Amino acid sequence: MAERLYSAIFYSKKDFKQKMLRQYELVDLVKSYDPDADEDALNKAYVFAMKKHSGQFRTSGDPYYSHPIEVAGILTKFRLDSASIIAGLLHDTVEDTDTTIDEVRNLFGDQVATLVDGLTKLATIEQKSGSLKQAENFRKLLLAMSDDIRVLLIKLADRLHNMRTLHYCPEDKRARIAKETLDIYAPLAERIGMQEVKDELEEIAFAELYKEAHDSIIARLNFLREQGSNIIPQIIAALEKDMSDNGIEATVTGREKAPYSIWRKMQQKNASFEQLSDIMAFRICVEDIASCYQALGVIHSKYHMVPRRFKDYISTPKPNGYQSIHTGVIGPLDTRIEVQIRTYQMHEVAEKGVAAHWAYKQGQKAEGMSFRWIRELLEILEQAANPEEFLENTKLEMYNDQVFCFTPKGDLIGLPRGSTPVDFAYAVHSRVGDTCVGAKVNGEIAPLRTVLQNGDQVDIMTSKSQHPSVEWDRFVVTGKAKAAIRRYVRATKREQFVTLGKEILERLFKTENLEFSDKVLVGVMQNFSAETIEDIFAKVGEGLITGWDVLRACYPAYKQSKMGKMVETLKAPLFKRKKKAPALKIKGLIEGMAVNFGKCCHPLPGDRIVGIVTTGKGVTVHKIDCKMLSKFKDTPERWLDIDWGEDAKAEVHTARIKVMLSNEPGALGDLSNLIAKEGANISNLNIANRLLNYFELLIDVEVNDVEHLNHIIASLKSSKVVRSVSRALEA
């Protein structure tokens, strides 16, 4: 009989109402797959959990101990060892009762105590937001599961039972738990290959968060089942005959895509339900890998293949260990279907993931490619500025819509879609990412922002003198790359802000004839939520507080009687340099300080300029007549008197020009040739306005200085295809 397309996901709702597992039933379940299980310890843990949770009740009105017992029951479906089952029974005792970790250790041993401790949430997180609490709890879970993957399996069982009883919770709490499940726990289940658990978690969360969409898809699936009630058995029978006729022993079943997966694909592809081709799929299971490819040959020789619908996850497995061949064909009865071909062993791994090839026998941990991502999450944890940033980058890392690329040695690297060579470099190793200067994709030099495709071979070029660029953060997509880049930028900017802030304060205190010392600043650290004096310097340098804020805190009775003199002083050069100091691109700044050029005025060597201390960006250089400067007229302490250094003209700078170009064939070519003849390069071109006979263009041109730009403008003015040209002074 054909497998019903809409099969229950792991457990059906009728299981929710089953009576709680009795003590002997739980022990019998464990003994059924592990005859050597510690029966006495299991019995003791069952009784211990009931006693400790006695008098506690869940929102459903059930005794609280029903929850850990049900969690233990789910773990038996994973066929886990006795220590895991016991930890499942005890997972809430330390958090919700007077039990201590030491007590658990004394009664049940170190292994169980370590598992329970990994599952115990942070006891008290005072005065912190809900998102921060979630992030810190997830951080602790990650650290625990990096030592022992069983922590994650128990946590997933815990979340699975909580989701099954979600309908008993208040509405606002249901939404929060469902969103957390979709964001974190379902992707975690997918990462360790536990498809059944992932599907059930997503189904319950989807129904809670997007009820209308869920109900609509369920209604369409019901209609599809009614319409295809006769077709499905016929397709299965036809595929079985195809295999039998070619001497292939196989089991053919049918299935439909989970509702949430259908909805996500509709969102991603902006497609309707009817446009999706893989709602109905058929699975062919065979004995060995050779038979998989033989079955594929039979399918492709008999049925037309749908372009771009073939994926070979046997030769290139997913990071979670998933293996199968997927192909889309116009199959029996001229029906468009997806066919999945795999071995029976692959099918077991596909459904149960890491639990299908459990290896905790005699203290041996399960190892494999499934756990590389945990190490990558740990690197993100080390580099994140705070738990919330860690959680954000972790979500980026866990979603699993991937492309697969190769190193020059043939090693496989799985990356999210949209990844670039920089993402690839960080996936290889953090050190490779930090020192990346270029990349070859399939043997050809490619820009670092190139989007990688399935099967690309990527060769990363590195240099010891290279450092991560803030620009990379704009195009990388992996959490690991973003975390590493932001960490470097934070560290670099802080050093610059500390130096700048100290210089500002020293100058200001000296001008006002007031003592400037660590002793004076220590007394006001609390005023600015600073843990060190350097924190105060950094905040001043970043522009979060002003030098006058610090001065008034240090000397509350001081009267501001020299404002005019102060303003003039602060407009003077703040940083005097020795004559022997090397020339800088910008004079008047600390060497190594982060410098940005205003996109509003595009200053060039030869322009009179001024520096503005900008929050989070170091110093921004503007033309002296830039209209944006009016925004800073009330904060004179942020103004720096700067000038171009001797070597500034040796660098390439971006200028923006406005051109009115004739709308005639070859005009744009003439324009670009004229600019090229002047030794300049067009870096960006935008059509700002289109008239009947003319185009108004905004063109970014790479030049050396104002004089170079003026030569270009003069050359363009002499062209018959250019009606007018001028320097564009606003963004």
**Between β-strands 609-614 and 251-256, what pairing exists: parallel, antiparallel or unpaired?**
unpaired
- Determine the angle formed by the axes of helices 150-164 and 82-90, rounding to 10 degrees: 50
- Determine the angle formed by the axes of helices 101-108 and 39-52, rounding to 10 degrees: 150
Chain centroid to CA 366: 26
Bridge partner residues of 305 (DSSP)? 329
From the candidates 3, 96, 348, 700, give the one annotated as an active-site residue: 96
**């949209």: which residue's tokens?**
418
Burial class (CB in 10 A: 0-12, 13-18, 19+), 90: buried
Give the containing element (helix H, strand E) for 620: strand 618-623
Q: Give CA–CA dist 378/138, Å, rounded.
A: 12
Q: What is the gyration radius of the CA atoms in the chain, in angstroms? A: 33
| Residue type (1 letter), 704 | N
Cα-flanking dihedrals φ and ψ of residue 580, to 5°? -85, 0
With beta carbons less than 8 A apart as the criterion, state whether 34 and 82 touch: yes
Task: Quickly count: other Cβ atoms within 10 Å of residue 570's Cβ.
Answer: 20
Residues 6+ apart with CB under 8 A from 720: 662
**Burial per residue of 395-417, b for 16 or more beta-carbon CB atoms within 10 angstroms, e otherwise:** ebbbebeebbbbeeeeeebbbbe
Bridge partner residues of 654 (DSSP)? 702
- Alpha-carbon torsion (538, 541, 542, 546), positive or negative: positive
- Span between the terminal Cα atoms of the chain, in Å: 68
| Residue type (1 letter), 473 | D
Pinpoint the alpha helices (H) of 228-257.
231-245
Coil/strand/helix, residue 437: strand
Bridge partner residues of 339 (DSSP)? 282, 327
Active site residue 126: no
Active site residue 95: yes
From the candidates 25, 28, 95, 515, give the one annotated as an active-site residue: 95
Which sequence positions are flagged as catalytic? 95-96
